[in-house]
Amino acid sequence: MYGRRLAAAAALAVAAAACGPKRVASGDAPPSPQVLVALLPDPETRNTGRAAVFTSAGSVDLAVARASTEVTAKKKPGEPQTLSEADVTRLFGDALAALPPAAKHFTLYFKFESDELTDESRALVPDILDAVTATTVPEVVVVGHTDTLGARRANFDLGLKRATMVRTFLIGAGLNAQMIEVASHGEGDLLVHTPDETPEPRNRRVDISVR
């Protein structure tokens, strides 16, 4: 989960900032550093999710965007506080800037019982090419899907056929074949959940991720 990964990075960054010179009485153990853990939205989906922060003394849940807690070893994490956007930028701006750019997603749809794209989907190809061009070292993942009409194995093959067709189409439009990976989920990852043997145009699709 993005929130947990970033919380860990943020905690490390703030821990380093918190470890400046401190007065320690002779013979005393150095105090444990205090760190700040924050739950931030995914930059691509804007979803936040949840995170649980544990120490040996207890735990707290972070469940809203920019929720944070201060953590010291052997003490229960502090009660959650919500950071402002300015606080997030000030504390975690460098960590956020170091994250890889979010993947860009495109969905192409097919005509009924066909591996031919709809006209609207064909019109998205220039946007896909622009996304690849804008990525420094691009990787393009093409995944084919079907609705629930027909046998599961046949739908897996149809999904792969659709993904392969889109790969060929993108190569013809100028993409390097080496950067394109294809896969099929068949009817196993429905966009619109339906009973078996149900035609559903929105499930007859190829999802493309450019990252």
Contact yes or no for 150/177 (Cβ under 8 A): no
Reported as a single tens digit per residue, the pLDDT across 113-171 is 676 889 999 999 999 999 998 888 899 999 999 999 999 999 999 999 999 999 999 99
Give the model's pLDDT for residue 176: 92
**17 — pLDDT class (breaks 50, 70, 90):** very low
Q: Note the pLDDT of residue 101.
A: 75
| Rounded CA separation 207/181 (Å) | 12
Task: With 0.75 as the threshold, say if the pTM is over it.
Answer: no
Is the confidence at residue 81, as pLDDT, over 70?
A: yes
Looking at 17-31, 48-62, 86-100, which range is the least confident one?
17-31
Q: Quick one: which of 168, 202, 198, 191 has its CA closest to 160?
A: 168
Radius of gyration of the chain (CA): 24
Q: Domain coordinates of the chain in residue numbers?
A: 2-98, 104-210
- What span, in angstroms and rounded, lies between the C-alpha atoms of 142 and 107? 10
pLDDT at position 191: 94
Q: Do the Cβ atoms of 3 and 48 come closer than 8 Å?
A: yes
Q: Give the confidence band of 84 by pLDDT, cuts at 50, 70, 90.
A: very high
104-210: CATH architecture: 2-Layer Sandwich (3.30)
Of the pLDDT bands very low, low, confident and very high (cuts 50, 70, 90), residue 7 is very low
What single-letter amino acid sits at 94?
D
Q: State the Cα–Cα distance between residues 48 and 33, nearest whole angstrom.
A: 27
